[in-house]
Structure formats: structure tokens, C-alpha cells
Structure 1
């Protein structure tokens, strides 16, 4: 068996249910965990995060093989799953816990994320400024089991939410692909 060096990436993109599937379908993604990051409370619960009292955002932590799926591709895929111009949350989910962000784990990730955001800003794809945050990674707390792999466990509810939240339509409009 090959000795591979896996890396970690963390993204907040609104509801974490919708951030798992697009990454889960890629070769080189080893594991995706839904959870919370960026706040001040240790081991927050879903209810606490949704109460907007912990400072956390819903996020996904991705363990990946950079030889098969480099960080640049992860960031590129991230941008296609969010509205990077929305400073108040994502789609119909509003508040701090639903704001988009890239959490870098090292200087290389920071450089790639910053360059990618600047490139997106300059692309003219959006009529408003890119406001997605880029932060140094903070402790990540795994969400409750019912939030893990939600799209696999509850495909009908997931698809209804993905459509009803406005995410699917946005992705189709701005990226010519609906995941």
C-alpha cells in the first residue's frame, strides 16, 4: 500500500448539508465531516450554533489526497457552491453561522485562497464585490451524527432543501452546473 500524505481543508459555505455532496463525488477526497468552526465555545451543539451565540459557522472539514485532487481544485469547487457576494449568510440561511469562509491550514493554502478570491473578483462573473472571508483555521468540532452524510441518508429532503433554498438555481445560473 502506498504511503500517501493526506491534507486537510476547511470550508464554510452556508448549510453544511449542501457542502458535502459536491466534494464527496471527487476522486482523491478521503473523508468529509460536517461540523462547526471559527467560534469561541468548545464542542458546540447544532442548537447552540444556530442560536448565533457561539461565533461558529457551519463548515466541512475535508481530508484529501493532494496528488489526486490538489487544493487549487478544492477552492475552485468551493467557489462554485456558494454566493461569494453574500455577506449575510448563504441563500435563505441567514446569520453568522451560515456565512461563507475559507479556513486555511498553512501558508500555501492561504496564498492559494487569496489568489483565487482575487481572480474571482477580477473575472467579472459577479456584479457585486466578493465578500467571502479567508481565515486561519481554528478548532473544528464534528457535528452530531444526524448531520453527517445528510444527502445520502435523506436524499428526498436534501434535494428539496437544495432546490428550495435557492442554492441549486444559483449554481446553475452562475456555474452552468447543478450538483
Structure 2
């Protein structure tokens, strides 16, 4: 049995590796979702005229890793207090969104978001939105597995995100 989860958290290049390294992950695909243009290109999404976000679609085995665990990993990859971008990536195509595929996923995501808000981990409000999943369009091939194919550029893109997540989640990694 397999399920899918869709998360938008800024540049999709930086969202693949943290999920792909987990047991029970079958596939992580970079792509676009949430917009009104069918089969958008990277250039169209970057123009901020399609309504799409850069996102990852994760296929997973729920007997090995739960959707709740994926949501927790998601929070630790993003700035949930920044509604219009993530780190150096600005604009609506980089906004943080959890796209849910079912009422069960919505309930898990909403509960997790409420717990994060109540935790006091962040001084600003949690503004990540939770929306019903929309059609997901795979990104061009050169975006897939970007971190593995372009380690230097990935490291540069990921540096600000890494510093932020280390600051806010350091006790989780001890």
C-alpha cells in the first residue's frame, strides 16, 4: 500500500533530500501545484502568473512512515511564519503550503499546526496554509534529484535554510 503527500516549502530543490532519506519513502518528485495553468513550465511558475507553488510530491509506505511523521519533517524544513516565500526565495510560488489528499491528512496537518503554534517555538504566528490537493505537475527533468546532481549549488541554496532550521530545531537533533 502506498500514499502520497504534497508539501510546498520554498525552492523544491531543498525539499527533496530531507524526505528522500527517510525509511518508507518510495519517491520524491519535484513539481508544481495549486495553480490555474495546466502543465506549467518552470519559467511560467517563476513569472508568478500561474498561481502554482513549487512543491514535492512524496510517495510513501504508511506501514513504515506515517503521514504525521512526514508533517513533522516538513515543519523542520520551512519557516512556517513566512507566508510569502522561504528564506532567499520570495513570492507566491515559494509560499509554504501543506496540500492534503484526504480528510484524515487534513486532520493530522491541522492538529500538528496547532501543536506547533502552541509550542512557543516561534514568536511569530504560524502562517503555513493547509489546502486541498490540486493537480500536481512534475517539474522538468533537470529539477529532479537536483541536490545529488548539483551538490555545490544545492549547498549554496540550502545554507540559509540550514541555519534557520538549526536555530529553531536544535533540540530535536540532540
**TM-score above 0.5, yes or no:** yes
Aligned residues: 172
Does residue 103 (structure 1) correspond to residue 74 (structure 2)? The answer is: no
Q: Following TM superposition, where does structure 1 have runs of at least 4 consecutive aligned residues deviating by more than 3 angstroms?
A: none
Superposed, 1:20-99 pairs within 5 Å as 20-99=16-95
- Tell me the CA shift for residue 160 of structure 1: 1.5
Which residue of the partner structure matches residue 139 of structure 1? 135
Question: Which of 90, 110, 126 is the matching residue for 1:114?
Answer: 110
Question: Which of 157, 166, 169 is the matching residue for 1:172?
Answer: 166
| Runs (5+) with no aligned partner, structure 2 | none
- Tell me the CA shift for residue 91 of structure 1: 0.4
Which residue of the partner structure matches residue 152 of structure 1? 148
| Runs (5+) with no aligned partner, structure 1 | none
- Tell me the CA shift for residue 161 of structure 1: 1.3
> RMSD in angstroms over aligned alpha carbons?
0.9
